[in-house]
Structure 1
Amino acid sequence: MPDAPAPVPLDRTAFAADAPSVARALIGTTLLVDGVGGVVVETEAYDRKDPASHAFAGPTPRNAPMFGPVGHAYVYRSYGLHWCLNLVCDATQPGSAVLIRAIAPAERIEIMRTRRGLDALRLLCAGPGRLAQALAVTGAMTGLPLHEPPFRLLPRTEAEPAIAVGPRIGLTRGVDTPWRFGLAGSPFLSRPFR
């Protein structure tokens, strides 16, 4: 029996929709950075009109990738400590992006464990800072296209999964906006949904 064809990576058209739609659609996809990664289980959406977004006050040198073409990475440092990976989206509203909050580790797990200095599978990529460390995401990747190496983003292998929706985490503005999406019941979420 012949092998099944390899899945075709998502291209820039997958990021053309509004941020909440893209954030929801990314649940169940597979994110790899240099072959290391797993299934996306948690995301958060942000757009230009959102007071919690880095793009709210307009373009700056830091957030410039959010105003660039869709389907590119926007990587920033949170509290001066942790890198965070966002995927730029929404062709009609520049300044929109989706934060990847958590993945279920699946590919090259030992590399992730080494990078994190941690054995616990559940905690390897449960949170945007942990995820970035496990996948070796750095600021040097900001602005890079997601359809070219080191990134590889593969479509879901099954129909749309059960998705939990709730407010985003760790914000002081836009705290009630229900733009956090997660794979319902996943043990790899950064925090359970209420």
Structure 2
Amino acid sequence: MRPGFFDQPVEEVARELIGATLVVDGVGGTIVETEAYDARDPASHSFRGETPRNAAMFGPTGRAYVYRLYGLHWCLNMVCGPRGSAVLIRALQPMAGIERMIERRGTDRPRLLCSGPGRLAQALDIDGRLNGAPLSEPPFELVERAEEPEIASGPRIGISVGTDTPWRFGLVGSPYLSRPLRFEDRAS
């Protein structure tokens, strides 16, 4: 990613990550769905301030914030600006290391390999050991999109507060989204 990419406002980073390529130790694909969270957002882990669990969200930018959801599923976030902000990577289109994804996920259905943050983390073997790791160094490889895709935005999902904030971004027409976007508001 270009220098300063993760220093942008969180919603811009979330939008610009759509179409980028994410690979972890040779396994990954094209990011097709993201959600943005910042410290002013009641749905964000950083809303009540810094804790040992969410410390990675408070910087530096360009690092992974990995947490466990409901004690079961790992989730990958990318830390960005302003302080206390991160982008949840919700889904990607599998492109590299698909056989390893199939082994890790126990399914050969392409749509089910990385559609949802827990599935994505399992397919890419992401867990707590990567919390705080720089996204610009192995095992991560993150490549900016070559062209601007058609993006839709809508309300985030899987949260109980801040549900009206339209900070969920998705690649229009992608069959790999975790769920269809409720609104087809074009974000680009």
User: What is the TM-score when the length of structure 2 is the normalising length?
Assistant: 0.95
- Opposite residue 69 of structure 2, the aligned amino acid is S
Could you tell me how far apart the structure 2 residues matched to 1:174 and 1:35 are?
A: 35
- Residue 131 of structure 2: aligned partner: 142
Displacement of 1:55 in angstroms is 0.1
- Residue 173 of structure 1: aligned partner: 161
- Residue 29 of structure 2: aligned partner: 38
- Residue 59 of structure 2: aligned partner: 68
- Opposite residue 151 of structure 1, the aligned amino acid is F
Displacement of 1:122 in angstroms is 0.7
Could you tell me how far apart the structure 2 residues matched to 1:140 and 1:68 are?
A: 17
Q: CA-to-partner distance for each residue in 1:145-166, whole Å, 9 max, x for gaps?
A: 0000000001112x21100100
- Opposite residue 110 of structure 1, the aligned amino acid is E
Question: Structure 1: which 5+ runs fail to align?
Answer: 1-9
SS at 1:111 equivalent? helix
SS at 1:153 equivalent? strand
1:1-194 paired onto structure 2 within 5 Å: 10-11=1-2, 13-90=4-81, 93-157=82-146, 159-194=147-182
CA RMSD of aligned residues (A): 0.7
What number of residue pairs does the alignment pair up? 182
- Residue 5 of structure 1: aligned partner: none
Q: CA-to-partner distance for each residue in 1:41-66, whole Å, 9 max, x for gaps?
A: 00000000000000000000000000
- Opposite residue 186 of structure 1, the aligned amino acid is S
Displacement of 1:12 in angstroms is 5.0
Question: Structure 2: which 5+ runs fail to align?
Answer: 183-188
SS at 1:22 equivalent? helix
Identity of aligned residues (%): 65
SS at 1:147 equivalent? coil
- Greater than 6 Å deviation, 4+ residue runs: none
User: What is the TM-score when the length of structure 1 is the normalising length?
Assistant: 0.92
- Opposite residue 71 of structure 2, the aligned amino acid is G
Could you tell me how far apart the structure 2 residues matched to 1:62 and 1:12 are?
A: 27
